[in-house]
Amino acid sequence: EVQLQASGGGLVQAGGSLRLSCVASGWSFDDSAIGWFRQAPGKEREAVASISSDDDNTYYSDSVKGRFTISYDNAKNTVYLQMNSLKPEDTATYFCATVAAGDYNDPLEGDEYDYWGQGTLVTVSS
């Protein structure tokens, strides 16, 4: 059974930083795409960032580009999302998801991902 465990969320002031982690069990992130998505109350899910573990290509939404960094530690089978310069509008539940390499076209399209974690809440106060 594939399980993704997201952690690292919390309450932070605007301008602060958080690092989210996503650990997989029953799945190797090797040869996968791993994405971070978020959903704020009353809003649709949106893509944040993704990384393809086979070539280390990264992709970011315009809203987080330059502030967030996604990375992959293959030894720990963990993906991180470093979030800096946080803004109140970044407040959301953040989810990690994964799909096998070659099984997707758009790395920022959530519908193309097969496995999802439970989410971790990030709250940014003004």
- pLDDT tens digits, one per residue of 42-75: 999 999 999 998 888 999 999 999 999 999 998 9
Please, are residues 36 and 21 in contact by the beta-carbon 8 Å criterion? no
Q: Mean pLDDT, to the nearest integer, of 110-121?
A: 96
Q: Mean pLDDT, to the nearest integer, of 95-108?
A: 93
Looking from the CA of 51 toward its CB, the CA atoms found within 13 Å total 18
